[in-house]
């Protein structure tokens, strides 16, 4: 599916994607920026979600390649986790077409509050590696596909959710957990995007402009993430979760600004 978009609108989408790519590479939550901009460009909601996945894939791919080249992620260590995330997301993306969206009204706030509070109230979480609380088999078989499923079903905060799981359940330091989250989020994005492409939902002109912005933003954000370390990642995750929660509650008419 495609639309005729003016150069001015394409430039706006490019800029939004660049900012979102930077934020996503550090803490996740870039969709908080790109989806509203796509809707502002008069792209219908389902096409906006599909096009957002297209540009998100380019950003998560760029971030993944960067952390792999830097040695923060070793491909053999995440190969099976990548597959688990992809499968979970594919199932979630398929099932969301048959699920009443109102069932997510309870889940989403709980997820965002949990992630934000964990990193806010546990200032030393992820400072150093610790003994895993969950073995790899359980993590690979339940947690990773579960988060992938959540991304396919809806998705806000998926990157932060992967980072939280790495720190809290696998004892990883925050930089390692965040680096792994980029690769696993790329897998979940691929699955959702494939379903949307098969359904003909992607707006390719908008997606093309946003891909360029995402790649630039993700490259810059990935470098900032590595250099800034936990001093940058932790406040970014907390801030993104707080903003996403506030926007969600505002959309539902539960708060007024």
The answer to whether the beta carbons of residues 53 and 196 sit under 8 Å apart is: yes
Residue 14 has pLDDT above 90, yes or no: yes
Over residues 145-165, the mean pLDDT reads 83
pLDDT digits (tens, 9 = 90+) for 87-118: 999 998 888 767 665 555 556 666 666 666 66
pLDDT digits (tens, 9 = 90+) for 86-95: 999 999 888 8
- Tell me the pLDDT band of 48, cut-offs 50, 70 and 90: confident
CA pair distance 16, 66, nearest whole angstrom: 21
Residue 161 has pLDDT above 80, yes or no: yes
CA pair distance 169, 187, nearest whole angstrom: 20
pLDDT digits (tens, 9 = 90+) for 185-224: 999 999 989 988 988 889 999 999 999 999 998 888 888 8
pTM (predicted TM-score) = 0.78
CA pair distance 255, 240, nearest whole angstrom: 18
Q: What is the pLDDT of residue 140?
A: 94
Q: What is the pLDDT of residue 114?
A: 67
- Say what percent of the chain tops pLDDT 70: 74
Of 45 and 191, which is predicted with more confidence?
A: 191
């Amino acid at each position: 599916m495609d639309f005729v978009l003016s150069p001015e609108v394409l430039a706006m989408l490019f800029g939004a994607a660049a900012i979102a790519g930077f934020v996503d590479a550090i803490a996740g939550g870039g969709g908080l920026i790109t989806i509203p901009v796509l809707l502002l460009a008069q792209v219908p909601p389902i096409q906006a979600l599909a096009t957002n996945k297209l540009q998100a894939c380019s950003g998560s791919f760029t971030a993944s390649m960067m952390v792999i080249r830097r040695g923060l992620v070793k491909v053999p260590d995440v190969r099976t986790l990548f597959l688990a995330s992809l499968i979970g997301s594919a199932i979630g993306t398929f099932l969301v077409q048959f699920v009443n969206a109102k069932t997510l009204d309870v889940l989403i706030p709980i997820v965002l509050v949990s992630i934000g509070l964990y990193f806010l109230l546990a200032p030393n979480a992820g400072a150093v590696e610790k003994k895993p609380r969950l073995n790899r088999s359980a993590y690979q078989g339940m947690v990773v596909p579960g988060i992938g499923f959540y991304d396919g079903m809806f998705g806000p905060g998926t990157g932060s959710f992967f980072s939280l799981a790495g720190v809290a359940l696998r004892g990883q330091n925050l930089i390692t957990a965040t680096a792994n989250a980029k690769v696993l989020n790329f897998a979940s994005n691929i699955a959702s995007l494939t379903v949307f492409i098969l359904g003909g939902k992607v707006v390719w002109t908008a997606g093309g402009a946003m891909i360029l912005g995402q790649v630039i933003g993700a490259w810059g954000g990935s470098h900032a993430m590595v250099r800034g370390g936990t001093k940058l990642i932790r406040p970014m995750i907390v801030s993104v979760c707080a903003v996403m929660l506030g926007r969600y509650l505002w959309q539902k008419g539960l708060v007024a600004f």
